[in-house]
Amino acid sequence: MQLAALSAAVLLMASGAFAQENQGFGQKLGAQDVAPPGDQASMGELLSRGYEIKAAVPNGNKFVVFMQKDQSAYACEMQSLTASRCGTLN
């Protein structure tokens, strides 16, 4: 039940991120793709760069969300509904 609720929340956040115009978050259209320092990023940054959510699994009282774009993959730890930290898997 908790997984379904979190999955719904993540999907709503993801669809909202695509629907919003750039208001100081992420990169502007046409900007050069710059990798975050230390191969870390937030989930919002990855969504704005075209990464897709592939899976979400519970990890204690938090969730780990796996995101992928082409041959690049990240694992993101959801710290709260609005905060996450992601690290590259490859």
Q: What pLDDT, in 10s, does the model give residues 36-49?
A: 445 678 888 899 99
Q: What pLDDT, in 10s, does the model give residues 50-89?
A: 999 999 999 888 999 999 999 999 999 988 888 888 989 8
Question: How high is the pLDDT of residue 8?
Answer: 52
Question: How high is the pLDDT of residue 26?
Answer: 55
Domain extents for the chain? 43-89
Compute how many other C-beta atoms are within 10 angstroms of the C-beta atom of residue 87: 13
CB 74 within 8 A of CB 87: yes
Of 82, 45, 51, 76, give the one whose Cα is nearest residue 63.
Answer: 76
Q: Would you say residue 3 has pLDDT above 60?
A: no
Question: How high is the pLDDT of residue 65?
Answer: 94
Side-by-side strand order, sheet with 62-69 = 40-41, 84-88, 72-78, 62-69, 52-59
User: Cα Rg for the chain, rounded, in angstroms?
Assistant: 13
Q: Please tell me which residue, 11 or 30, carries the higher pLDDT value.
A: 30
